[in-house]
Amino acid sequence: MCERFSFSAGRTRMKRVFNIDVAEPLQASYNIGPGNNAYVLTNKSTKLQIYRWGLVPRGAKDPGIGLSFPLAKAEGIEKRHSFRMPVRQHRCLVFADSFYVWEKNGQAHRILLPHQELMAFAGIWEHWEGPRGQLLKTFSLVTVPANSELQALDQEQMPVLLLDGEDMRQWLLATELSDALRLLQPLPKGILQQYPIGPAIDQLDNDFADLQRPLR
């Protein structure tokens, strides 16, 4: 599964890769985990926004429940109580430059695309309004069964990565649920790259570029 991910990109790169105009400087984050903020593009806006990782269902009494929903398995997502409305009406792209996985022995690996290209994960989002009117914007990453490369790293699930611009557009804007669900597939073998990294990534409070240094 995807327990952590990272994001480091400037406005020019976001425009080049995703054709998104960004007005403000973007903040790099090298260790994003559940409860942290990330950059997303929702199906309701053309602007890049900041949402918190861990979907809080609209009717939840306690927003802390979002920490239980960082991931949403694609299988049966359209039937699960917390996800069935968001997957129909509230889809988003979540941006990253890599993600991290851990083997059962505790060894962490950084997973990335060739040439360290930026990633767009398929996500779902929700807005939760508290009793005092406070607004919380949250998301979950959609996952699918891991491909053989990630299975070799003891992973059962992997995030859905949308590599094609048309697939990204369809995920955001498809009016038929079936058209969106067909995009929820593992990446074929041979696309992702990986290398082992040191144990400092284990601590969520650590957030610096050297976390991504290859383990020698």
Look up the pTM and report it: 0.97
pLDDT band at residue 119 using 50, 70 and 90 as cut-offs: very high
Segment 4-28, tens digit of pLDDT: 999 999 999 999 999 999 989 999 9
**Cα distances (Å, whole numbers) of residue 166 to 106, 130, 174:** 37, 36, 11
Distance CA 41, CA 51 (A): 9
pLDDT band at residue 130 using 50, 70 and 90 as cut-offs: confident
Distance CA 155, CA 161 (A): 16
pLDDT > 70 fraction of the chain, expressed in percent and rounded: 100
Pairing of strands 119-129, 135-145: antiparallel
* Full set of structural domains in the chain with CATH: 4-212 (3.90.1680.10)
71 close to 54: Cβ distance less than 8 angstroms = no
Range of weakest confidence among 59-68, 142-151, 178-187: 59-68
Segment 41-80, tens digit of pLDDT: 999 999 999 999 999 998 888 889 999 999 999 999 999 9
143 close to 73: Cβ distance less than 8 angstroms = yes
Average pLDDT, the chain: 96
Distance CA 145, CA 157 (A): 4
